[in-house]
Every structure is written in structure tokens, then in C-alpha cells.
Amino acid sequence: MTVPSPLPVPRLRFAPSPTGFFHVGSARSALFNWLFTRQRGGTFILRIEDTDEARNRPEWTDGIIAALEWLGMPPDEGPYFQSAQGAAHQAAIEALWNSGALYACGCTREEIEARTKARAAAGDPTPGYDGYCRDLGLPRGEGRALRFRTPDEGSTTVVDLVRGEVEFPHRATEDFICVKGNGMPLFVLANAVDDRTMAISHVFRGEELLPTTPKQIMLWDALNVATATDLALPVYAHLPLLVNEQGKKLSKRRDPVAVEMYREQGYLPSAFRNYLALLGWSPGEDEIVPLEELIERFRIEDVQRSPAFFDIQKLTHMNGVYIRALSTSAFVAESRPWVDPVAGEWAPGGWHDPDADSATTPGPPWPTERFNDEVFGLMAPVVQERVATLSEVPALVDFLFLEDPPIDQKGWDKAIGRDEVAPKLLQGAFDLYADCEWQRDELHRVTSDLGESFGRKLGKAQAPIRVAVTGRQVGPPLFESLEVLGRDETRRRLAAALTRLRTTT
């Protein structure tokens, strides 16, 4: 009996550069790489491309690792650092140089531009480097970049899992620089060399890298020749760009792209991941798909070729669905960083206050010693079905933990200030609440009767009470809220509202 030879284990890398917050586009790339490896029993590798000393910062690397962790897709291998691969890079450069694939170039940017201009004036619009130093036989030296000698004829074809075969004519490919004047490799080279040394089998990355792929293929082939090896090219898949409402590539400067920010706003990693998976790919009939199914159904070949708009509204809707699907105890646990941050653990920078102009203020709005776990747990079920993001939670329960919740002036004016029945309603509630049974249904009944005695439906009758007790016009169901708040505190606030009414009008 023969044992079937095992399929090679796919090795995929996610290779961000640590030059800023973790970008949602990067997260999507990481996800597709990760899904593929989970499905095929492959290896998901994190490689930090940190060869640009000027822009790299170690904290950005920490951010990448934390974000992957948060999204539930930590690397199987790594992080590896491209900066630690210097020896391999230098060996590759040496081999390439010795094989004649490279030549030294001393042209400055200005010189190249001047020649391009002159050429254009003479009627030749070909842009880019003109191969001035190509056959000068210049020796290598400080300040001289190394260029790759591209063929004059023919073309290089990129075989891409999502785009099919894409052909790039050589005559439009300039002799590109792959080693800087200081001897350090450029992305195009370092990236390919690392993929070789790490035995990467599949390269799934953003579409913006498609134009550099033919160069990397030429380099790959030249490296095979120069080192007398026969490494197989990785399988490429270029994922559609993530764009903003103007259809432009998501930019770190103008668009909300930081994954960290979504975490702060209280998006669940499960929801975020699910939404990300829908950008450029579709699982079929249902969009809300548990992770195991995502892994099972994902097919790189089915990825869309056109760009996708990152729609926060849809993300938010999906997050609400995920939040509502949580058990109450899980919801309480997930809410903790927003309502009762634990020292030393991750905490968001703020919470969402619907009545304030600025979106967030730092920390929960109440002193931590006033937070009560049990009380929060009692309110949690009705809060859970009313939020789409966790940062909205504090505003729905702050009246429980604030000694005197601030009263929203607009709400006060509308529900109490401009309503002559309001004082009677507040007084009536204050009286009736003194000795009725303190239970939601009973409070409902009593308040409903009170309203009717003034010819009011409950919807209108509850408004002044809500504002007086919680400070807001909207919030969780009132009678649940009162039940949890307690009789004495409720009546104290009703009395305070009555006093305020007398002193301000």
C-alpha cells in the first residue's frame, strides 16, 4: 500500500511595514492570508518590513502585533524582521552583481528628469530612466545605486489567482533600482529575497503591488540563475483596493483607517473580521457567517476584481447583530473596558455621548468606585439590544452610577420646561412611587394610570419622568431603569427636578 505524498504545506506571509497605525486594508490582506492558511493547514507568517529606518517606529510594530491578536489571527511564525535579513540580502546582491544582472548608476534624479524632458522635446515621450549608465561599466561605490538590467524585448506575465494572466511589456519597464546608493536593498528586492528564504508559497497582497510584481518575477528568475537554484515562484493573488466614498484608495491622512480606532469605538473582533471578509469576497447567501464557516467557504479564486468601499454603516449594523447575539454575561464582559476599566489592561480612550458635541470623553463618565457590577448586570439585557457599538454603553447606564446625572438642557426644555402638565406628572409620580410595589410591571401600571388621569398616553407621560431621573430623553426602558435605580433614589431625583423647576421658572 502506498502512502499518498502529502500536499506541500502552504506558507503565507503578511508583510506590513511599521509606519503608522494598523490600516484596515492591511487587516483585510492579513485576513485573506490567514483564512487561506487555516483552510489548508498552512502557516501564517508575520514579517515586519522595517528597512526604511527613517519612518519605522517600534511602537507601530507593537500595534500590528496587538491588532492581529485582537482580530484573533496571531501569526504561526514570526514576527520576523526584514532588517535582520541583511546577510541574505547582501548575498543576493552579490550574486546578482556577479551574474551581470545589475549595473551601477550614478545619475541623480535631476539628471534623469532633464534627459526625460529633452527626450520629450525631441518627440520621444518614453518616461522613466533611459539606461544612461547601462553600458558604462561603472564600478560599485558609495552613492551609486544598482539597477536591474531589464530585457528590451518581450514581456513578463504575472499569473494571478484573482486577475488571471497580466502581461507587462519590457519596453515599458525601466531599469529599476533595487539597491540604494548606501548598499541597502529596496523593497522590490528585499521582499523577493525574503520570500525565497522563507519559502513562501503564496503571496496575497493589495492590488497596488501588481505593477511591481513583474519586476519581482524578473528578480526571482535572475536570482535562480545567479545562485544556480530553481526555486518556484510563489502563487500571486492581488486583492482589490479598499477605497473611500470618492473611490480613491483609503488614505491614512483623510480616512478613518486605523483598526485601533475601531477597537476603541467598541467593534467586536468577530464582527470586524466578518465585515472585512465581505470586502471583495462573498460567502454566498448569508453574510453573517461564523468564523469556522468563513474558513471553510473562503476561496481566493472567487475574490472580486473591482475595488470595495469600506462602509462603516454596514460594519456598524453587523456589529449590532453580533452584540445582540452575545450571551448577557459575554456582553457584560465585553463591555467592561468601557464601564469599568481594569488597571493595566487595554482600555478605550473614550465613550460615546450622544448629547455632547465631541464624540468622546476619556474613561467612563463616573468615578470607578461608584460602578457596581451587579447593578450593571441587571441593566445589561436591555442595554445590549440597544447598542451597535460598545462605546455607546456608558451613555445608557450612566444615570445609575452618577450621583447626579447631568440633565440635558434640550431634553429638559422639551419634556419639562415647555410642558405645563410636567410638574403635576412629576409630583404625581413622586407621590405614587412612595408606596407602590417597586417592580417594573407595577411601575408601568401606576405610571400609565397617572398619565391617563391627565389625559396622556404613557408615551407622553413618561417623558418628564425619564428626563428628571436619567437626564436624557432617550435611554433604556424606563421602568426597568427605575426598578434598578431604586425607590429612594428615584424619588430623590424627582424631588430635585421639582425644585429645579421652581427655581428656574
Partner RNA sequence: GGUCCCAUCGUCUAGAGGCCUAGGACACCACCCUCUCAAGGUGGCGACACGGGUUCAAAUCCCGUUGGGACUGCCA
Q: Which of residues 421-460 bind RNA (CB under 7 A)?
A: 440, 444, 457-459
Q: Which of 474, 495, 496, 498 binds RNA (CB under 7 A)?
A: 474
Q: Please, is 107 exposed, middle or buried when counting C-beta atoms within 10 Å of its C-beta (0-12, 13-18, 19+)?
A: middle
Q: Which cell numbers in the block locate residue 428?
A: 404625581
Per rule CB under 7 A, is residue 128 in the interface with RNA? yes
Per rule CB under 7 A, is residue 42 in the interface with RNA? no
Cβ-based nearer residue to RNA, 4 or 247: 247
Q: How far is the CB of 185 from RNA (least distance, A)?
A: 8
Per rule CB under 7 A, is residue 106 in the interface with RNA? yes
Contact 340, 373 (CB under 8 A): yes
Per rule CB under 7 A, is residue 57 in the interface with RNA? no
**Residue with the three cell numbers 519586476:** 215
How many helical (H) and strand (E) elements, i.e. helices and strands, does the chain have? 19, 14
Residues from 223 through 262 that contact RNA (CB under 7 A): 240-241, 243, 246-249
- In eight-state DSSP terms, residue 170 is G
Q: Which of 29, 61, 82, 335 binds RNA (CB under 7 A)?
A: 82
Question: Could you give the CA distance from residue 134 to residue 102 in angstroms, rounded to a whole number?
Answer: 9
Residue-wise DSSP of 21-86 = SPBHHHHHHHHHHHHHHHHHT-EEEEEE----TTT--HHHHHHHHHHHHHTT---SEEEEEGGGGH
Question: Could you give the CA distance from residue 441 to residue 456 in angstroms, rounded to a whole number?
Answer: 18
Kindly list the catalytic residues. 252
Q: Binding segment for RNA among 101-109, 331-339, 399-407, 424-432 (CB under 7 A)?
A: 101-109
Residue 165 backbone phi and psi in degrees, to 5:
-95, 125
Question: Could you give the CA distance from residue 336 to residue 360 in angstroms, rounded to a whole number?
Answer: 17
Among residues 232, 199, 189, the alpha carbon closest in space to that of 96 is found at 189
Asked whether the CA dihedral 58, 54, 241, 389 is positive or negative, the reply is positive
Q: How far is the CB of 170 from RNA (least distance, A)?
A: 10
| Residues contacting RNA: total by CB under 7 A | 89
Amino acid letter, residue 449: D
Question: Could you give the CA distance from residue 116 to residue 180 in angstroms, rounded to a whole number?
Answer: 21
Per rule CB under 7 A, is residue 156 in the interface with RNA? no
Per rule CB under 7 A, is residue 479 in the interface with RNA? yes
Cβ-based nearer residue to RNA, 41 or 169: 169
Query: Per-residue contact track with RNA, 287 to 316, x per CB under 7 A?
Result: x--------------x-xxxxxx-x-xx--
Residues from 62 through 81 that contact RNA (CB under 7 A): none
Contact 360, 349 (CB under 8 A): yes
Q: How far is the CB of 312 from RNA (least distance, A)?
A: 9
Cβ-based nearer residue to RNA, 119 or 225: 119
Q: How far is the CB of 343 from RNA (least distance, A)?
A: 32
Q: How far is the CB of 460 from RNA (least distance, A)?
A: 8
Query: What count of residues does the chain have?
Result: 505
Q: How far is the CB of 4 from RNA (least distance, A)?
A: 26
Q: How far is the CB of 454 from RNA (least distance, A)?
A: 15
Cβ-based nearer residue to RNA, 321 or 436: 321
Per rule CB under 7 A, is residue 4 in the interface with RNA? no
Q: Which of 365, 400, 475, 484 binds RNA (CB under 7 A)?
A: 475
Cβ-based nearer residue to RNA, 20 or 363: 20
Q: Binding segment for RNA among 260-268, 331-339, 341-349, 468-476 (CB under 7 A)?
A: 468-476
Per rule CB under 7 A, is residue 177 in the interface with RNA? yes
Residues from 182 through 221 that contact RNA (CB under 7 A): 182, 186-188, 190-191, 207-212
Per rule CB under 7 A, is residue 327 in the interface with RNA? no
- What is the distance in angstroms between the CA of the first residue and the CA of the last residue of the chain? 95
According to DSSP, the residues that pair with 187 across neighbouring strands are none
All residues at 6 or more sequence positions from 399 whose CB lies less than 8 Å from its CB, including other chains:
405, 469, 470, 471, 472, 475, 481, 485
3-state secondary structure labels for all residues of 252-270: CCCCCCEHHHHHHCCCCHH
Q: How far is the CB of 132 from RNA (least distance, A)?
A: 12
Per rule CB under 7 A, is residue 466 in the interface with RNA? yes
Q: Binding segment for RNA among 84-92, 317-325, 342-350, 492-500 (CB under 7 A)?
A: 317-325
Per rule CB under 7 A, is residue 282 in the interface with RNA? yes
Residue 157 backbone phi and psi in degrees, to 5:
-110, 130
